Amino acid sequence: MTLVGVVGAGVMGAGVAQNLAQAGHDVALVDNTPQAVTKALSTIELNSRMSRLLGGPELDPDTILGRIKAGTDLALLADADLVIENITENWELKRGLYLEMDHTVQPDAVFVANTSAIPITRLASLTTRPRQFVGVHFMNPVPMKPAVELIPGHHTSPEALEKVRDLLTSMGKKAIPVNDACGFVSNRVLMLTVNEAAFLVHEGVADAETVDEVFRSCFGHPMGPLQTADLIGVDTILYSIEVLHEHFADSKYRPCPLLKQMTDAGLHGRKSGQGFYSYGAPAASSAAVDSGGSRPTAATR
């Protein structure tokens, strides 16, 4: 099977690595902190054990983990056929990573950016392989979500796009093609919704539970926008809306001050144990938290 590099061992990176291993691919999982690598492997093991209970396939954790080689050295990616990047939505961090990866990974490998908002063509310009650069916006939790946005950059070759599409098919994903633009389709709309919902809480119009109840009861959404923010990560929401604000220079993308305050305070949602809602201990597994147990209690604001 294909050797796929996964860079960034946070919630998304761990989910991508697990999904790839489930599909039978060998995975090289890299993060710049050993703690993140250890936590990701623990999360993957737990998710694999609980997969059947969560409505997924029955998985053998030892088999899944046996397909994943993890560490902090980018040299693990040297022989990868594709590399999927999942680090924080920060231009300078991504810039440094791609400049380094471009010299580390074999020249004919395809780079895949799992980015929330930054345009694919802009990221591809950091490398010497813009024809081998593709955007894929995975949804969280990755192993449980059946579809992704597939975004070619301006220079992406048909061969690179097809290679990534084949990989996604092997992972059980429906690839929805979207043209390259900041935020693509999903986050161009979702981030505005979450940001405005945060403003409602910030202004005292309603608390988080009430805002989400309107969306669940009136519109039939399975989750409200602030529950979704906690699942994605409040910090990730903030970084994405900041990218949209900078890119479009439009005041409608002005980040809610509450998102900044919560991010600074470490109230990042399920992964930290506290966001718009309280979850107790930090979530070991976003997939497990998403599907099991009672609904969390809304945080007091």
User: What would the pLDDT profile of 10-26 be if each residue is shown by its tens digit?
Assistant: 999 999 999 999 999 99
Is 187-293 in CATH node 1.10.1040.10? yes
Q: 3-177 belongs to which homologous superfamily?
A: NAD(P)-binding Rossmann-like Domain (3.40.50.720)
Topology alike, domains 3-177 and 187-293: no
**Per the structure block, which two tokens stand in for 95?**
């810039």
87-105 average pLDDT score? 96
State the pLDDT confidence band at 54, using cuts at 50, 70 and 90.
Answer: confident
pLDDT in tens, 197-236: 999 999 999 999 999 999 999 999 999 999 999 999 999 9
**Of residues 48, 116, 140, 272, which has the active-site annotation?**
116
- The per-residue pLDDT for 37 is 98
- The per-residue pLDDT for 126 is 97
**Of residues 137, 140, 242, 285, which has the active-site annotation?**
137
The arrangement of strands across the sheet holding 133-137 comes to 68-71, 26-30, 3-7, 82-85, 110-113, 133-137, 147-152, 174-177
For the chain, what is the mean pLDDT? 92
Active site (annotated) includes residue 187: yes
**Of residues 51, 187, 272, 286, which has the active-site annotation?**
187
Report in angstroms the alpha-carbon separations of 72 from 6, 38, 183, 295, 301.
11, 11, 29, 36, 39
Q: How many whole angstroms separate alpha carbon 216 and alpha carbon 255?
A: 24
- Asked if residues 7 and 97 have their Cβ atoms less than 8 Å apart, the reply is yes
Indicate the domain borders of the chain: 3-177, 187-293
- Counting Cα atoms < 13 Å in the Cβ hemisphere of 223 gives 16
Active site (annotated) includes residue 48: no
With H, G, I as helix, E, B as strand and everything else as coil, classify residue 274.
strand
Note the pTM of the prediction, 2 decimals. 0.88
pLDDT in tens, 130-147: 999 999 999 999 999 999
Supply the DSSP symbol for 293.
Answer: S
